[in-house]
Amino acid sequence: MLIQVCGPGCASCTKAETIVKGAVAEAGVTATVEKVSDFAAMAKLGILSTPSVIIDGQIKCVGKVPNKDEVLAWIKKP
């Protein structure tokens, strides 16, 4: 599973990354968490506002910091 957290490096984007990593650890799932800070890459992924979370190419949340339960739900969905 590839999880990409998009954000230019501001406080909330960093927070989103921390939450995602925490959720991954808690769920015990094998996943790579990647921080995307490059704007060109973000644009290619179709992201218009940050922070954003993309799991295996699917955009899960845009423009807000997700809470841990939301992330767990996304990870556990088959």
Partner 1 sequence: METPLDPPCACDTAQTPAPAALHRPLFTRAVSTLLLLVLWFVVYHQLEPLSRFLAFDLTGLTPESRGGSALQFFLYDTPKVLMLLALVIYGVGIIRTFFTPEKTRAILAGKSEAVGNVLASLLGIVTPFCSCSAVPLFIGFVTVGVPLGVTFSFLIAAPMVNEIALVLLYGLLGWKIAALYLATGLLVAMVAGWVIGRLSMERHIEGWVTEIRTSIDSTPDQRISWDERFRAGREAVIDIVGKVWIYVIAGIAIGAGIHGYVPEGFMASIMGKSAWWSVPVAVVIGVPMYSNAAGIVPIIHALLEKGAALGTVLAFMMSVIALSLPEMVILRKVLRPALIAVFIGVVASGILLVGYLFNLVI
* Pure H helices in 1-78: 11-27, 39-44, 68-76
- CA dist 34 and 21 (Å) reads 10
Q: With binding defined as CB under 8 A, does residue 21 bind partner 1?
A: no
Joined tokens for residue 53: 């979370």
Q: How far is the CB of 23 from partner 1 (least distance, A)?
A: 12
Residue of 2, 26, 43, 56 that binds partner 1 (CB under 8 A): 43
Interface residues with partner 1 (CB under 8 A)?
6-8, 10-13, 15, 19, 39-40, 42-51, 58-59, 62-70
